[in-house]
Structure 1
């Protein structure tokens, strides 16, 4: 189930879509790109991730017509793929709770550098899973999948995002493999200090939609959670109700999105952090008016960046359409590279892939006519 020659390059863009996956190989200057794909043509690929610990193992979270929700693994950059022997699946019903079935695996995260075979996966409906053999066999992880309190916070399959509630943004503290975070739409942000044996909500300061109880974790809807590579004590969050920053050991989120232009607002899905500066970040706002169009405000897409931790924001739209571009960019569909002048990349639900080589100041379209883009990740192969 693969196409393309699978050669490696200096920078990869891993693009997961509604109808397959593509790998873009960039040259050293990020001026030209060679496309490899499609892989899994016709199948939904929710996330495609390269393991940074070995620089060669790819995992793809897939929904296929005949195999259902599963995970594929490649150790040769997509020349060949092997299906997981045991993909994520909920166990039998216990504690009197209703049985659940995985609709799809939504999020993949490699484990700590000291745990080379470990991967984590988040599913829809909300579930947390772990593999200890590089993605071949998966098992439910932690207590949350069948914990009565968490099941209440999960809500029902009718709640949350239009295509199902999700557990996402699984983060491993690079300093401590026992320190984990994840987020849920809906169901809030959660933290473990004991390697996942227990988790606790981390939602103080986060707002919820008017009319709902801020004290009920069920109604908290983080869209994207990121930990600063240069400062693991700082986290940023793009939420259904704003953009937030959290500085540990504090536990209260600060809504930095209040400093965005009022006409644009601070609602959106993706969020990208600078690899070396914990004060620099970028978001791509969506229209958050009452009917929630989830498209670029006014049909005029722009990336907004902050260089001071969210105290102020600058609009970056040079090269992007000036009007009638009603884009939606999903929470996994924007990423950045590690170059001296950070490259930014995002994909749209209308199948366009855009990039900037200068931290958002100038944009160009890298690809058009792809299927709906679900996720964009950058990676460095070895």
Structure 2
């Protein structure tokens, strides 16, 4: 269940700023706080669950460029990081790079208070050991010649640039890490980031390309099951997958989705307590990739059996002429006894389900394009 002493807050990151929606215990009434950073692109807004107060916002500003903002009072006040993520001087004969924006923020293990990770565009991995105040390049990958080949180029076709995302820390072991790249595959470290190895077996790539080349793999979102860290789910450019460790081969469970809908999309959400339950929100993955809901009829699809079957949930959602979609970070779940689900659309609508996706209603309209959502409990 949700922390009975904490307050439910929905963190909303958008193309034009950030909002905090404070909900009551029943998720019936909401108080809006914002905008924060009006006019700035906010790619991710994350609470540190280890203290319940510290928020980090990954921002791309018109005058400051890419930076991190930090709050230690649940968003009442903010200060800019003294040293945001930035690539160092070029090494190994490689071309120098600059960070366009920080895309993904993740807290480190519970045993490492104040430690955070960040993924950037173009692909880079960074770490902060002082609560997000200062950042340094982390691990070997930023300047590794092989990884640099897998990164591709900034002209690789990924909207808003290629990205390192889905940074995951095994809750049992602070040295066991995962991250994913669009493009560039899924990668794993068992030595605290000293080395990483690709984890792409079983993943498909776009027709005509070589699946043996890690650069062609395009995971959109990877999630670990909180109560079973040996199970991971993935929404990929080429389907929905599940991985059960210690196995290393991903299984395409999206093939059980209705053929007329397909299994292409961006967000992936897992149940906080049931490793067989997960949700996706498909988009039109036809040849031209319009990035809209299939047929203009959006729906959330749920599995309760690890992807063997999927059920359509669209009660309350538009039945026609709804041509939006949902980005990879813009769908989340709370931890209530009956899990609440939330997603934000490219047209600025914020949707809520209090019953694990069975019924949906609009929480807010007319926001800027929504980039990311997190449902948290603030101290």
TM bin, normalised by shorter chain, reads over 0.9
Q: Which residue of 2 aligns with 1:372?
A: 369
Q: Which residue of 2 aligns with 1:285?
A: 282
2:109 to 85, 92, 112: 112
Superposed, 1:211-360 pairs within 5 Å as: 211-360=208-357
Task: State the 1:77 CA deviation.
Answer: 1.6
| Separation in 2, partners of 1:130, 1:112 | 12
| Separation in 1, partners of 2:75, 2:49 | 16
Q: 1:153 is paired with a residue of what secondary structure?
A: helix
1:20 to 17, 22, 40: 17
Superposed, 1:123-202 pairs within 5 Å as: 123-202=120-199
Task: State the 1:48 CA deviation.
Answer: 0.2
Q: Structure 2: which 5+ runs fail to align? A: none
Residue deviations 1:59-106, cap 9 Å, x none?
Answer: 000001111000000011222111000000000011110000000000
Q: Which residue of 2 aligns with 1:52?
A: 49
| Separation in 2, partners of 1:302, 1:188 | 27
Q: Structure 1: which 5+ runs fail to align? A: 1-7
Q: TM-score, normalised by structure 1?
A: 0.97
Q: 1:380 is paired with a residue of what secondary structure?
A: strand
Q: 1:145 is paired with a residue of what secondary structure?
A: helix
Q: Which residue of 2 aligns with 1:32?
A: 29
Q: 1:265 is paired with a residue of what secondary structure?
A: coil
Structure 1 runs of 4+ aligned residues shifted over 2 Å read none
Aligned residues: 375
1:85 to 82, 85, 93: 82
Task: State the 1:9 CA deviation.
Answer: 6.3
| Separation in 1, partners of 2:290, 2:340 | 28
Q: 1:135 is paired with a residue of what secondary structure?
A: coil
Note the aligned Cα RMSD (angstroms). 0.8
Q: TM-score, normalised by structure 2?
A: 0.98
Task: State the 1:328 CA deviation.
Answer: 1.4
Task: State the 1:160 CA deviation.
Answer: 4.2
Q: Which residue of 2 aligns with 1:96?
A: 93
Q: 2:378 is paired with a residue of what secondary structure?
A: coil
| Separation in 2, partners of 1:269, 1:303 | 12
Task: State the 1:162 CA deviation.
Answer: 1.4
| Separation in 2, partners of 1:83, 1:196 | 27
Task: State the 1:10 CA deviation.
Answer: 1.9
| Separation in 2, partners of 1:221, 1:160 | 11
| Separation in 1, partners of 2:157, 2:247 | 28
Q: Which residue of 1 aligns with 2:118?
A: 121
Task: State the 1:195 CA deviation.
Answer: 0.2
| Separation in 2, partners of 1:175, 1:217 | 28
1:205 to 188, 199, 202: 202
